[in-house]
Amino acid sequence: MAPPANHPQTPAERLVALSIEWTWPLWLVGGLYIAGPVLGWTLAGMVALAVYLDGLPGNGGKPANTPFAIQAWLLGMAAMLVILWIGHANFDLGMGKTVKSSIGWAKGWALIALFPLAGAVLKIRPEVIYRAVCKLGLHTLIVLPIFVTAPYIGLPELLWVSPLKVLGGAGPDYFAAQLYTIEPGAGTPRWQFFAPWSPAAGLMGVICVLLAVREPRLGWKSIGIAGGMALALFSQSRLALVALVVIAPLVWGIARLDRWWIWLIAAPIALAFGLFGHTLIDLADTAINEFSSARADSSRVRAALGRIAIDRWQTEAFWFGHGVVENGPHLVEFMPIGSHHSWYGLLFVKGILGAIALAVPIAITLGVLFVRSLSDATAQSGLTMTLVLSLYSFGENLEILAYLYWPALVVIGAALSAPKPKKATGKAA
């Protein structure tokens, strides 16, 4: 059972809260990419210790059960590692590449299971994360004027690339203190803040807004929402705007499906869609085309990367994938095949089995939290975060950003472990 809201923070909660609150200093020294995996595996060690202590005879001799959905995440992400090894063996990639890719798995896919596990087993209260995200929003608003004015007062785009990049093994983007970038073609500034690129900053903005709205104190809530909105808007991410417009109302409606007036509202909407469905579909198609044309070059490259990934997956490595990421041709500006899309990337690198290893835990989590969200606020938060990550799986590679959006994963774990609300017996007074 999780401690009450006014209970002092546990060691795991303090570690989580401080890691969120120290986001900007960690970004400045290039430590975010390292801090995420270190935190994830540290929490995993705390989970192992907690399970061991709970299993001692003096403590009842039986450790707490891990929720079924969490078990699905653990099995799915473990399967990713096995599939990776088989893919490497199929293409004779050698021990060196296999070890390097296994380390990459520990910094990516593994975290997608470890953080929900920590949120569930260590009973990390979502309220702790809500407040920490609001404090991060305050820090964002404090530094925002520097970022916004930087391109207009002659400050450099790149402050520096941290020497810590030698420890990470990823590209310099993950260790760069970048004030802004200039959008190719348009010549206008765009901001990525503490993320490696602008759409990732948009993802973090969406997560911060949707977590901050759960903060009970109005002052902190307002600050958290403002900070998150700044990240989402100045990143100029199209997907972030879609997520903010769609997901919050969707979860609000889902949480009220057991109320008669929701169905009263939904009935005329369904009738209107039936009568004017063809016109609405045409409008949606037009909106999608305008959405894509907002950054035509980006949309073209994304589409080409997807086509190449699908073709080579089907013809060369259907079951276990190619084992490693490969750069595409000049047509896609030599960007990695399957990048900007978790499912295309999975099919290319890990085949159909890799895609299944991610799809099954997501589906189970959505199903469990959908039902629980009808009567539990924590489940609504977890459902919101799962929907955000599901949406972004079609625009980003989830594994390479897990070090950044891990607070959402902890909230999902806490939601999956929350006890089922008891139905009221008897009439209210």
Model pLDDT, residue 233? 93
CA distance 105 to 169: 12
CA distance 358 to 343: 9
Model pLDDT, residue 336? 72
Model pLDDT, residue 333? 61
CA distance 224 to 231: 11
Residues 6 or more apart whose CB falls under 8 angstroms from that of 79 comprise 353, 354, 357
Residue type, 56: L
Stretch (H or E) spanning 257: none
CA distance 87 to 351: 9
Of 137 and 422, the structure prediction assigns the larger pLDDT to 137
Nearest one of 97, 99, 102, 89 to 317, comparing CA atoms: 89
pLDDT band at 223 (very low <50, low <70, confident <90, very high): very high
When pLDDT is averaged across residues 61-84 and rounded to a whole number, the result is: 88
User: Distance of CA 121 to CAs 2, 178, 417, Å?
Assistant: 10, 37, 8
The DSSP secondary structure of 158-218, one letter per residue, reads EEEE-TTHHHH-S-GGGGEEE--EEPTTT--EE--TTSSSHHHHHHHHHHHHHHHTT-SSH
Model pLDDT, residue 427? 38
CA distance 177 to 136: 17
Q: Is the pLDDT of residue 69 over 80?
A: yes
CA distance 198 to 181: 9
When pLDDT is averaged across residues 399-405 and rounded to a whole number, the result is: 95
Model pLDDT, residue 258? 58
pLDDT, tens digit, 9 for 90 and up, residues 137-163: 999 999 999 999 999 999 999 999 999
CA distance 310 to 48: 39
**Mean pLDDT over the full length of the chain:** 84
pLDDT band at 308 (very low <50, low <70, confident <90, very high): confident
| DSSP-based three-state secondary structure for 327 | strand
pLDDT, tens digit, 9 for 90 and up, residues 45-55: 999 998 887 76
pTM above 0.85, yes or no: yes
Q: Is the pLDDT of residue 88 over 60?
A: yes
Q: Domain extents for the chain? A: 19-255+295-417
Please, which residues bridge with residue 176 across strands? Answer: 161
% the chain with pLDDT above 70 = 80
CA distance 204 to 383: 16
